[in-house]
């Protein structure tokens, strides 16, 4: 049951992660919006520069016309002083025509001056907005990044806890298997010792030989015990221990033949 639950959690985490990957990253969106605002600000600044250039060009043209206007007036006065009324009239006619041109130029200059002031104000407001948006953007991005890191850390801890739980379950199962195997080994040892199970590695008829050896050993012990009871030292010692010197007497132990 626990393994199935763990498998379901793993599948759920995988599907959730894939779904989150498809969600738009707000940091990228904020950066894109900021870039668009910066582009608009650059466009406004270029417009301010273009209007300022046009206004300066008109201003220079107006200054040139003003100088000509003053010069024509001087020429008209000089012509009258010399008795040349015709030249004075011509200078005044040109001056009147130039005055009309200067009036139109003044209107253009005033219009450009108002437009320049408006653009400069818009540029100032937009600069403040872009600066405020940049600070807000970086704050949101930092908060999102910190939250994302916390989520990843929590997921890592959760995954580690699940792994530790699974490892603990595996260890418990392994301990149970070891205990079962130890109990089975002990049980088979007892069955082999009792003869309930046949040792397939033993020689044929080994069980009969083992039983005869046990009966013979018991009979030998009974004889030695009876000899001790009869207080007969020579009878109490086994045949393999009688005779011979202590140095080579050990050769006859277990042989069943008395030493000379």
Looking at residue 217, what is its pLDDT?
A: 77
Same domain, 212 and 179: no
Domain count, the chain: 2
Same domain, 226 and 111: no
- Residue 160 φ/ψ region, left for φ over 0, alpha for ψ in the -120 to 50 degree band, beta for the rest: alpha
Same domain, 168 and 218: no
Looking at residue 153, what is its pLDDT?
A: 82
Same domain, 167 and 85: yes
Q: At what angle do helices 85-194 and 26-81 cross, to 10 degrees?
A: 170
pLDDT tens-digit readout, 156-184: 777 666 666 666 677 777 777 777 877 77
Query: How far apart are alpha carbons 194 and 189 in whole angstroms?
Result: 9
Which range marks the domain in which residue 244 is found? 206-252
pTM for this prediction: 0.47
Same domain, 45 and 139: yes
Same domain, 149 and 116: yes
Same domain, 63 and 172: yes
Same domain, 157 and 238: no
250 burial (CB, 10 Å; 0-12 / 13-18 / 19+) is exposed
**CB of 34 within 8 A of CB of 139?**
no
Same domain, 169 and 212: no
Same domain, 53 and 153: yes
DSSP string, 144-201: HHHHHHHHHHHHHHHHHHHHHHHHHHHHHHHHHHHHHHHHHHHHHHHHHHHTSS--TT
102 burial (CB, 10 Å; 0-12 / 13-18 / 19+) is middle
Same domain, 187 and 210: no
Q: Which residues of the chain have pLDDT under 50?
A: 1, 235-236, 239-240, 243, 257-260
């Amino acid at each position: 049951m626990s393994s199935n639950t763990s498998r379901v959690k793993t599948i759920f985490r995988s599907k959730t992660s894939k779904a989150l990957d498809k969600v738009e990253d707000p940091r990228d969106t904020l950066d894109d919006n900021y870039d668009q605002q910066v582009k608009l600000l650059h466009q406004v600044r270029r417009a301010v520069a273009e209007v300022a250039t046009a206004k300066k060009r008109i201003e220079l043209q107006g200054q040139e016309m003003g100088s000509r206007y003053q010069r024509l007036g001087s020429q008209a006065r000089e012509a009258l002083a010399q008795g040349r009324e015709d030249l004075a009239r011509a200078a005044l006619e040109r001056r009147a025509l130039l005055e009309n041109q200067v009036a139109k130029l003044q209107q253009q200059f005033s219009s450009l001056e108002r437009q320049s002031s408006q653009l400069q104000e818009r540029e100032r407001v937009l600069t403040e907005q872009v600066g405020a948006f940049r600070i807000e953007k970086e704050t949101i991005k930092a908060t999102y990044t910190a939250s994302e890191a916390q989520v990843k850390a929590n997921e890592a801890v959760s995954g580690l806890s699940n792994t530790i739980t699974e490892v603990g379950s595996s260890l418990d199962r392994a301990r149970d298997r070891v205990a079962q195997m130890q109990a089975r080994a002990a049980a088979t040892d007892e069955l082999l010792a009792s003869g309930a199970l046949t040792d397939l590695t033993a020689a044929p008829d080994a069980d009969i030989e083992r039983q005869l050896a046990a009966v013979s050993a018991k009979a030998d012990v009974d004889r030695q015990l009876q000899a001790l009871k009869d207080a007969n030292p020579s009878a109490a010692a086994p045949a393999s221990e009688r005779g011979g010197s202590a140095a080579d007497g050990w050769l006859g132990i277990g042989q069943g033949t008395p030493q000379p």
